[in-house]
Amino acid sequence: MADNNQSVSTKLERKTTAPYKGKKLRVAIIGCGGICQSHMQAYRSIPQAEVVAGCDILQERLDIMNEKWGIPKENLFVDGTKKPWRAMFKAMKGKIDAVDVCTPNGVHAPAVIDACNAGLHAMTEKPMAMTVKECKDMIAAAKKAGVKLSVGFQRRYQQNSENLAKLRAEGYFGDIMLVKVRACRRRGIPNWGVFGQKELQGGGPLIDIGVHIIESAMAFLGNPKPVYASANTWTFLGDKPSEVMSMWPGWDHETYTVEDFAAGQIRFDNGTIMQIEASFADHQKEHDIEDWWAYGTKAGCNWSTSEIYTDQNNMMVNMTPVFMPESGWDYIFARKLQNWVDGCLKGTELGASGEIGLNVQKILCGLYDSAKAGHEIKIKD
């Protein structure tokens, strides 16, 4: 494993550390908390981009931006209001080209829309927003301003994701009948941030960890149109104190308003079915699993292992790659940001455009709406 990681890291370094002589994309960070640190690390391997500013509602986060990442204090803006980026936009007008939104989910839409209206390109962390309408408003704002809008789905940039998607597009699997998606923890309720507050996040494990695996499976499928949703959600552990030993004990059960477990099904316009399970806490054998399995008329596959199941020479065979480069966290973060930076500077195609994010949001909202209604629903365009 160590050798694989080293080879991927070296390959990435060779691609991105050559002297860059063109224009740099000047990026401002909106929300300088936890996930921002992964973004900052990734920007170090992208010479075409430079983080020049940031804003947050807490000063201590900006102190880290200055002390750890070297962002000048005069380019860091603290504001306890709901829109701390406004002061930054005013002070840094003409000095930034793009924003990278690393806030809780409920802030994605207003931050992106204001950025687009200011003529700035935008990257937003996943999920794209809280509602389908918010996604549409974000896309409309980007189109009106002529700027690039991308969503932070990094799983699609893993080598296994790209290999399996290519085979599907070439017809290797035939028609995909069913995809089973799981993003489940046995007892992994976050004890930091606002992950348990529906008002700020829009939901629990489905919208937080389920969204990544759903989007990876959607990339494999070629982003079909979801038409029907059926689901249920349950909260049975997170809103209560617990003495059970776990990796993240002591979560804030008093403010916990999201689901512990969600299960559902999506029907697409091409007849494919996607079955989905997502949990922060359930009674399963595995401690933590994020994976999907696809079943086609010619072959099937498993995402995490890249195993393929098919028939050859009158035999049922299972095929496993002898070597697969390890797609570590830093690597896939750098690839998703590189894709966006290239799109902003060169006009190249985005891997996870706003339209991709909108389609995933339709799935998330469709499942939550079905659970609330208590029956299957038709997903609105």
Confidence band (pLDDT; 50, 70, 90) for 326?
Answer: confident
Give me the pLDDT at residue 327, please. 77
- Residue 170 identity: E
Q: What is the per-residue pLDDT across 162-196, written as a single tens digit (0 to 9) for each?
A: 999 999 999 999 999 999 999 999 999 999 989 99
CATH topology of domain 156-326+359-378: Dihydrodipicolinate Reductase; domain 2 (3.30.360)
Q: How far apart are CA 68 and CA 56, in angstroms?
A: 16
Dihedral sign computed on CA atoms, order 288, 235, 132, 143? negative
CATH topology of domain 2-155+332-349: Rossmann fold (3.40.50)
Give the domain ranges of the chain.
2-155+332-349, 156-326+359-378
- Rounded mean pLDDT, 358-376: 98
For the chain, how long is the longest CA-to-CA vector? 70
Dig out the tokens for 361 from the structure: 């949001």
Equal fold, 2-155+332-349 vs 156-326+359-378: no
Give me the pLDDT at residue 6, please. 32
The H helix count followed by the E strand count for the chain is: 12, 15
- Rounded mean pLDDT, 234-245: 93
Give me the pLDDT at residue 231, please. 98
Q: What is the per-residue pLDDT across 302-316, written as a single tens digit (0 to 9) for each?
A: 999 999 999 999 999
Please determine, for residue 31, whether its predicted confidence score (pLDDT) is greater than 80: yes
Give me the pLDDT at residue 227, please. 98
Residue 45 DSSP class: T
- Edge-to-edge strand list for the sheet holding 76-78: 76-78, 49-56, 25-30, 98-101, 121-125, 149-152
Strands (E), 155-225: 176-185
Please determine, for residue 12, whether its predicted confidence score (pLDDT) is greater than 80: no
Give me the pLDDT at residue 11, please. 39
Please determine, for residue 2, whether its predicted confidence score (pLDDT) is greater than 70: no
Q: What is the per-residue pLDDT across 268-300, written as a single tens digit (0 to 9) for each?
A: 999 999 999 999 999 999 888 999 999 999 999
Helix, strand, or coil here: 238?
coil
Give me the pLDDT at residue 277, please. 98
Strands (E), 207-249: 226-234
- Residue 280 identity: F
Give me the pLDDT at residue 317, please. 98
Q: 13 near 45, Cβ under 8 Å?
A: yes
Confidence band (pLDDT; 50, 70, 90) for 20?
Answer: low
Higher per-residue pLDDT: 122 or 34: 122
Q: What is the per-residue pLDDT across 89-139, written as a single tens digit (0 to 9) for each?
A: 999 999 999 999 999 999 999 999 999 999 999 999 999 999 999 999 999
Give me the pLDDT at residue 286, please. 86
pLDDT mean across residues, the chain: 92
Confidence band (pLDDT; 50, 70, 90) for 5?
Answer: very low
Can you give the pTM of this predicted structure?
0.91
Confidence band (pLDDT; 50, 70, 90) for 328?
Answer: confident
Please determine, for residue 154, whether its predicted confidence score (pLDDT) is greater than 90: yes
Q: How far apart are CA 26 and CA 30, in angstroms?
A: 13
Q: How far apart are CA 165 and CA 379, in angstroms?
A: 25
Please determine, for residue 21, whether its predicted confidence score (pLDDT) is greater than 70: no
Distance (Å) of CA 269 to CA 272, 274, 356, 378:
7, 12, 16, 11
Give me the pLDDT at residue 207, please. 96
Q: Phi, psi (5° rounding) for residue 320?
A: -125, 130
Confidence band (pLDDT; 50, 70, 90) for 221?
Answer: very high
Distance (Å) of CA 27 to CA 9, 140, 290, 304:
24, 22, 31, 33
